[in-house]
Amino acid sequence: MHNLLWLKSAGCGGDSISLLNLDQPDLYTAFKMLDIKVVWFPSLSFESDKDVHEILNKIINGEEKLDFLMVEGAVCDEDENKTNYVTFCGHPMKHWIIELAKRASFTIAVGTCASFGGIMTTGSDNIKWMGLQYLMKKHGGILGVDYSSSSGFPVINIAGCPAHPDWIIETLNFITKGKLTVDNLDKYQRPDLFYSKLAHHACPRNEYYEFKASAEEYGQQGCLFENLGCKATQCESDCNERLWLGRTGSCTRGGFPCISCTSPVFPDGFLPFFETQKIEDIPTTLPLDVPKAWYVGISGMAKLACPKRLAVNAVSFKKIDVENEKEE
């Protein structure tokens, strides 16, 4: 039996909601299959403050084991701020995370806020928010560079705004089966199983992308990269292969640009979300795996070679059968 404790720090709660949407199998079945006992989970548990306090202290005192410490939301570094913005059971959240992380076999940051600071790092309120072991790309965070859990792992970051429910449950699955090693984590400590691809891969607009046949307005069928801000060619995730919400969709399948929510520098590093910034017609946010000189050469040739079918449909709201000159 593996004990799991979930803490909710500063964030919208979207990662809990995402996990509750797990559907293949549902969450209760998944926990049962993985032999996971939920010690406490804010969206599922009924215990009062006093009871939770007791549970946390039992873990800290070594009276109860803790296999999985899961944290959602950014953490306030109250030493630096001389004040605290998230208290829980009478203490700053930072205190609980530091103490519980000393006992955890695996400490897992769920979502981009807990991983890297995320949304909480934006704005100008001068409050020092951070993730468990990172502040954006800077290693450290609340637990510090040298932290590792009792199993020898650093914080495992399941980034995403929110994280896909599969990314969370599959990570637990691989750990319980002994199939996740430290070498399976990428440079930002994300399991490479989910973050070694680009969100761009398997987008239905890939053919438009290849020929640089681009939409000019939302609702049109072309690629969203050149004009409408899609960052999926820079974003490490498998969203368009795995799909969301009962395996039916993704951001780009819904006509919305990927805003690279799994990145350590999300959101500020990807603003503006809905337009593509360019210098002399070349997007400043080029694909991760294509050098600039190549992009310039290839995109010019691709446009010249673009079939009429794609050129017409890229800027159309409905699919047009170009040969027969009618809507399909």
Binding site for ligand SF4 (CB under 6 A): 199-200, 203, 205-206, 209, 223-225, 230, 232-233, 235, 237, 239, 250-252, 258-262
Please report, in angstroms and rounded to a whole number, the separation of the first and last CA atoms in the chain: 55
Lookup: tokens for 74: 């950014």
Which DSSP string do the residues of 208-261 spell out, in sequence order? HHHTT-B-SSTTSSSBSTTTS---GGG-B--HHHH-BTTTTB-TGGGT-----T
Helices (H) and strands (E) in the chain, counts: 12, 15
- Residue placing its CB nearer to ligand SF4 in the complex, 3 or 121: 121
Q: How far is the CB of 110 from ligand SF4 (least distance, A)?
A: 14
- Residue placing its CB nearer to ligand SF4 in the complex, 76 or 251: 251
Q: How far is the CB of 200 from ligand SF4 (least distance, A)?
A: 4
- Residue placing its CB nearer to ligand SF4 in the complex, 185 or 224: 224
- Residue placing its CB nearer to ligand SF4 in the complex, 154 or 229: 229
Q: Is 91 helix (H, G, I), strand (E, B) or coil?
A: strand
- Residue placing its CB nearer to ligand SF4 in the complex, 173 or 206: 206
Whole-Å CA distances, 139 to 51, 101, 303:
35, 17, 42
Residue 112 amino acid letter: T
Alpha helix ranges (H) inside the chain: 14-20, 27-33, 49-60, 78-81, 93-103, 112-116, 165-176, 192-195, 206-210, 239-242, 292-305, 308-314
Return the bridge partners of 282, or none: 279
Q: How far is the CB of 293 from ligand SF4 (least distance, A)?
A: 20
Angle at 199 between CA 198 and CA 200, to 5 degrees: 85
Q: How far is the CB of 144 from ligand SF4 (least distance, A)?
A: 28
Q: How far is the CB of 280 from ligand SF4 (least distance, A)?
A: 20
- Residue placing its CB nearer to ligand SF4 in the complex, 42 or 249: 249
Q: How far is the CB of 219 from ligand SF4 (least distance, A)?
A: 13
- Residue placing its CB nearer to ligand SF4 in the complex, 68 or 188: 188
Q: How far is the CB of 2 from ligand SF4 (least distance, A)?
A: 28
